[in-house]
Amino acid sequence: MRPLHGAEDNTEANLRSLFSQAYPEFEVLLSIHEPSDPAAPIARRVMAAFPNIPARLVTAGVSPLPNAKVWSLRALLPIARHEHIFMSDSDIFHLPSSLSTVMAELSQPNVALVTCPYRAVGGPRFWSRVEALGLNTDFLAGMLTQRLLNGMDFAIGTTIATRRTELTAIGGLEFLQRYLAEDFVMGNAMHARGRLVTLSRSVIAHHIGNDGFIKNWKHRLRWARSTRRSRRLGYLGEIFTKPVAIATIFCILVPGAWGLLLIALFFRATVAWSTAVEILRDPLIYRYWWLLPLEDLSSFATWVLGFFGNKITWRGRDLNLLPDGSFQI
């Protein structure tokens, strides 16, 4: 199931990757909000190019609630023919082996949900590349640390595989639409039932867009405020993942403490190399590694601002978040 919204540079290639899965039997269900959506002709063109893959394009209508993605998924789930559900965002590119890998992992004992790590692919704009660097050198490391300390009690919404019965057991998509971070809530609710959430071996490519500074900053602030409400202690603990910013502030306050900054830079470089190069195979890090200190300072500023305020801007709407991460309607 894949909700579509608008036509970006990679929309068609991403969609073709979904139809090109090396798996014996599957269907592709796509949704748009309105018939005039620019993604509609792209979807029909790709569907025509893969006549042997059962596929449908559904018009979900405009969502009455802020989380339009879940509204689109709600329009698709009733017409799905299979028990196993593979949900993927429109900005995701999959390798042909992705579906088979994830389905094998979902078949393991007591596994209720499989979520995929991703390699961020930035656009040509400066701040898009900076954000991609941060995601590829920091996000996965934080996620693996969380798994080590507390197990996988969350999911990443870019790609999720589960079963229809598992969704029903936690209240269904109707329950999840109340939240901004519906992916985190989905994984957390299944984990709370004693079911396993697994981080897949399949790494996907996430095209994060090509936004300028203002839109990029609003997006990151929305993410920070959502994360603070989803996992309060985990958000506070992120201070340990920001050694360069902390060491820089310390050096400003304590003259002569530059050795601390050098140590912080060493450990930051080690983490960046192990995640971006060894795991994600990110080509961006080789050309733009020198932007990492800027990304670290930007990430730290966003993290601090995430502690304040409950307002976010999402899809052109100004919204308020409640303490549990749900929307104030």
Q: What is the pLDDT of residues 163-181, one digit of tens each?
A: 999 999 999 999 999 898 8
Beta strand ranges found along the chain (DSSP E): 2-3, 28-32, 55-59, 84-88, 92-93, 111-115, 118-121, 159-163, 196-199, 204-207, 311-314, 317-320
- How many angstroms separate the CA atoms of 242 and 190, rounded? 30
Percentage of the chain with pLDDT > 90? Answer: 48
- How many angstroms separate the CA atoms of 245 and 152, rounded? 28
Kindly tell me if the per-residue pLDDT of 231 is higher than 90: no
Task: Please state the pTM of the whole predicted model.
Answer: 0.88
Map residue 108 onto helix, strand or coil. coil
Residue from 84, 72, 67 nearest 32 by CA: 72
User: Which two tokens mark 30?
Assistant: 């796509």
At residue 73 the predicted structure's pLDDT band, cuts being 50, 70 and 90, is: very high
Sign for the CA dihedral angle at 142, 269, 287, 302 comes to positive
Angle between helices 258-272 and 292-305 (to 10 degrees): 100
Beta bridge pairs of residue 113: 162, 197
At residue 72 the predicted structure's pLDDT band, cuts being 50, 70 and 90, is: very high
Average pLDDT, the chain: 89
- How many angstroms separate the CA atoms of 329 and 322, rounded? 10
Weakest-pLDDT range from 48-62, 76-90, 129-143: 129-143
Kindly tell me if the per-residue pLDDT of 123 is higher than 90: no
Map residue 96 onto helix, strand or coil. coil
Q: What is the pLDDT of residues 9-30, one digit of tens each?
A: 789 999 999 999 999 999 999 9
- How many angstroms separate the CA atoms of 45 and 40, rounded? 9
DSSP string for 150-193: H------TTEEEEEHHHHHHTTHHHHHTTBS-HHHHHHHHHHHT
Beta bridge pairs of residue 179: 326
Contact 221, 302 (CB under 8 A): yes
Q: What is the pLDDT of residues 61-71, one digit of tens each?
A: 998 888 899 99
Mean pLDDT of 186-190: 95
Looking up tokens 């340990």 gives: 240
